[in-house]
Amino acid sequence: MIFKPYKIFNRITDIPIEWLIANGIKGLALDADNTLSTHHSQTPLDGVPEWLNKAEQSGIKLMMVSNANKNRVTPFANKLGLEFTSLSCKPLPVGFIRATRKMGLKRCEVAAIGDQIFTDIVGAKLAGVKPILLMPVKPETGVSFKLRRNLEKPLIARYKRKGLMYEEVT
């Protein structure tokens, strides 16, 4: 199904780097808003810089893939030391394909991490990369966001029932 993520996590920092490596993921295409920061913020979420650093030190290539314009993405990507592609046109696959090429990886080696089913997950699936869904950090206020979030709720509940929510085995 085009809307089905590979796995669901609460926050990006909840994704074990070891899990990524064990699943053959060598590169990450990262959304910005509600993934690395809150919507339209230039401040990374707690723990994000450290998590990104750990991922890079583990040999995972990182790239920000955002629908935002270059003026929004550039300062934030620079702050995090990430390459990026802006105006990615998600859910079209073009931004993800561009990112995999820039990382020098095959699409099957890349995962896309984002918080929206109808942009991040669909775009990743169309591009042939593994889509990882995150729960939104903070609700957006725009009408289109509220509509999309309401449409996502039953899908997310279904995916959680089917065991797509990552749970640490202790």
Choice between 156 and 170, residue whose per-residue pLDDT is larger:
156
Residue 168: the pLDDT is 64
Q: What's the whole-number average pLDDT of the chain? A: 93
The pLDDT, as a whole number, for residue 139 is: 72
Q: pLDDT per residue over 110-140, tens digit each?
A: 999 999 999 999 999 999 999 999 998 877 7
pLDDT of 95 above 50? yes
Rounded-to-integer distance, Cα 36 and Cα 43, Å:
8
Q: Predicted confidence band at 82 (pLDDT cuts at 50, 70, 90)?
A: very high
Q: What is the pLDDT of residues 134-159, one digit of tens each?
A: 998 877 777 887 888 889 999 999 99
Res 170: pLDDT: 46
pLDDT digits (tens, 9 = 90+) for 22-61: 999 999 999 998 999 998 889 999 999 999 999 999 999 9
How are the residues of the chain apportioned to helix, strand and coil, as percentages rounded to the nearest 5? Answer: 45, 15, 40
Q: Is 145 exposed, middle or buried (0-12, 13-18, 19+ CB in 10 A)?
A: middle
Strand order of the β-sheet with 110-114 is: 7-9, 130-134, 110-114, 27-30, 61-65, 83-85
What are the phi and psi torsion angles at 9 (to 5°)? -130, 160
Cα-to-chain-centroid distance, residue 45: 14
pLDDT band at 12 (very low <50, low <70, confident <90, very high): very high
